[in-house]
Structures are given as structure tokens and as C-alpha cells.
């Protein structure tokens, strides 16, 4: 039972450290998406907010991909 308590305490500590690191790395405008105490939920929320969506954005991304050119030092492999 004591082992389980220590295990849970360590998990909570690691989650708090991860959340703190995430908060330190984002810009102020992103903090409103970081209300959860679970770093995995925060990560999923940020991914959802920043996910490229919409038909126009898909066209832009496709055009960028199709217009890519190999730079001279890059190999074909």
C-alpha cells in the first residue's frame, strides 16, 4: 500500500513537472488552452487548436508541397 502511495505521488510530481515545462515553453496567448492539470490533455488541446483545417488551408498546404524544389546540396536519396 505504501508503495502504491509513493508511486502515485511520483506520478503526480512528474505530471506537474511536465505541465510546468509546457507552460514555460508557450507564448502567453496559449495559456488559456492550458487549464487542465493533466499534461496529456493539455497537449491534445494545443494540437486540436493548431491543427490545420479548412478547405482553403488544405489547398495552400498542397500547393506548397507541389512547389517544393530540391536545393543544390540535397541529394535525391
In a domain, 43, yes or no: yes
Structural domain including 25 reads 2-66
- Number of structural domains in the chain: 1
CA 59-65-67 angle, to 5 degrees, is: 100
Confidence of residue 4 (pLDDT cuts 50, 70, 90): very high
Residue 73 belongs to some domain of the structure: no
> Cell match 498546404: residue?
61
Q: What is the mean pLDDT of the chain?
A: 89
Cell of 15: 505530471
pTM > 0.85: yes or no: no
Is residue 71 a part of any domain in this protein? no
Write down the number of H helices and E strands in the chain: 3, 0
Is 75 inside a domain boundary?
no
On whether residue 32 sits in a domain, the answer given is yes
- Residue 7 domain flag: yes
pLDDT at 66: 94
Amino acid at each position: 500500500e505504501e508503495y502504491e502511495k509513493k508511486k502515485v505521488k511520483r506520478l503526480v510530481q512528474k505530471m506537474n513537472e511536465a505541465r510546468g515545462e509546457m507552460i514555460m515553453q508557450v507564448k502567453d496567448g496559449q495559456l488559456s488552452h492550458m487549464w487542465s492539470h493533466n499534461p496529456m490533455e493539455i497537449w491534445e488541446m494545443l494540437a486540436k487548436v493548431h491543427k490545420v483545417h479548412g478547405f482553403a488551408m488544405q489547398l495552400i498546404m498542397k500547393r506548397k508541397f507541389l512547389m517544393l524544389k530540391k536545393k543544390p546540396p540535397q541529394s535525391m536519396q
